Amino acid sequence: MKTRAEKDSLGVRQIPDSVYYGIQTDRAVENFPISGLRAHPRFIDAFLYVKRAAALANLKAGELPKPLADALMRACDEILEGALRDQFPVDVFQMGAGTAFNMNVNEVLANRANEILGSAKGSYSPVHPNDHANMGQSTNDVYPTACRIALLFILKEYLHGPLEALEKALFAKAKEFDRILKSARTHLQDAVPIRLGQEFSAYGEAIKKSSAALLEAEKSLYELGIGGSAVGTGLNTAHGYREAVIKELSRLTGLALLPANDMREAMQSQRPLAQVSATLRNLCLEITRIVNDLRLLASGPTTGLAEINLPAMAPGSSIMPGKVNPSILEMMNMSAFHMIGSDTTVALAVQAGQLELNVMMPVMAFNLNFSTMVLGNSIKILCEKCISGITANEERCRYYAETSIGLATALNATLGYAKAAEVTKEALASKKTIIQIIREKKILSEDQIKKGMDPVKMTEPGIPGMGKD
């Protein structure tokens, strides 16, 4: 294998001449053979947008010669279009702050820029990975900037659409099931009647509010600390550089990005990532609750509640013939649990910042990018392969509603709580319905039963009016 010699502050290494990364990347690959996981493609995109914007800003400031700036920007464009995507081998679990990945990008850009300018890879002349590809920058401001932009990309690409579709699907089922009467349950015990559509409407509302909370949390990601360089003071940045970088980043990404009010705060605190992560966790808590409800409502088909029917997607057992499981819902549970676990990692990483820098950014970026993609893909499948195909077992639902001891609640206004409780106890002991006991004991007339014991009327606000016999 043909190699080239490269030198850094620790010494000289032989680097395969076919690769575009250099000595610091090679050290990182050797030092961190941890997971085999690589940066998310959108994270690579975000990094390249930052590098391209920085090259243009330094060109405008008169600090970066035009031939070098043009070559660096062309290299960025080529990679954004799909070239050299295999040249970023640094593991996501790497040295703190993400220095290894930043230098990986700098080396690839410098080597490709030099190639464009007619120089050999590894010569780092005229374009140097530190002096030119990293001009006016530090890992400490580039990495968190790329983190925020990448997460905005991923949220938009993977999560927003599926969340909107899930909300619409739940509300559509609410409308479809609006007239289906069933028994509500509290403490997993019989309660007053409710309509199946009302349950699904509540699910839709929960997703709607969770989506709104996520959009609100995302606003904090638009504020960037780029231009702060090493510790947020802006050392080694040209006049006007910071403003030019953010303006160009906004143009390149289509995002309305803003400069942080305090660059030190933007470097010390990764609260925006924690805020979005916590909101995603809360979304997953709601999704898990809803999914668990659906699994319970679909339990059976002969020994469970069996109030709804889920689409059959695959045989459910390797030993029990004909068994069909709630497989899509189970998958959704696991994805939600994964996101909740990722949030714990992000929370611990965010609080681990010390003085002028939080060095735990690589694990924040990986967990948020990967888990958000998984969550969005899972919700998409949940909506397409489960929610949209749910049907109701109307007869089963109505049977539970009409035999529930929760019907006795309607007697409170007429008989009082104590007397209604006696009716309930007798119904349970005799295995009869509330209506049967009322008739046998002649507690109410048929007209009163018709007026005050209609389960459908109990699903809306009001006091049952039974009138006088």
Mean pLDDT of 406-416: 89
Amino acid 44 reads: I
Mean pLDDT of 268-288: 98
Mean pLDDT of 428-437: 92
pLDDT for 344 equals 98
Q: What is the mean pLDDT of the chain?
A: 96
Between 296 and 466, the more confident residue is 296
Residue 449 has pLDDT above 90, yes or no: no
Calpha distance 78→40 (Å, rounded): 18
pLDDT for 318 equals 87
Four-residue CA torsion sign, 18, 23, 28, 31: positive
Residue 255 has pLDDT above 80, yes or no: yes
**Pairing state of beta strands 258-259 and 223-224?**
parallel
Residue 358 has pLDDT above 70, yes or no: yes
Residue 31 has pLDDT above 80, yes or no: yes
Calpha distance 315→195 (Å, rounded): 31
Cβ proximity of 163 and 386 under 8 Å = no
Mean pLDDT of 253-267: 96
- Give the bridge partners for 13, in sequence order: 6
Q: How confident is the model at residue 469 (pLDDT cuts 50, 70, 90)?
A: very low
pTM: 0.94
pLDDT for 467 equals 54
User: Over the stretch 11-21, which tens digit does the pLDDT of each residue have?
Assistant: 999 999 999 99
Mean pLDDT of 166-176: 98
- 65 DSSP assignment: -
User: Over the stretch 36-94, which tens digit does the pLDDT of each residue have?
Assistant: 999 999 999 999 999 999 999 999 999 999 999 999 999 999 999 999 999 999 999 99
User: Over the stretch 280-332, which tens digit does the pLDDT of each residue have?
Assistant: 999 999 999 999 999 999 999 999 999 999 999 999 888 998 999 999 999 99
CA 241 to chain centre: 33
Tokens 């990764």, residue located: 270
Residue 446 has pLDDT above 50, yes or no: yes
Could you tell me how many residues make up the chain? 469
- 442 DSSP assignment: T
Residues catalogued as catalytic: 317
Q: How confident is the model at residue 414 (pLDDT cuts 50, 70, 90)?
A: confident
Mean pLDDT of 428-446: 91
CA 47 to chain centre: 21
pLDDT for 466 equals 64
Residue 453 has pLDDT above 50, yes or no: yes
Domains and CATH numbers, the chain: 3-135 (1.10.275.10), 141-394 (1.20.200.10), 404-459 (1.10.40.30)
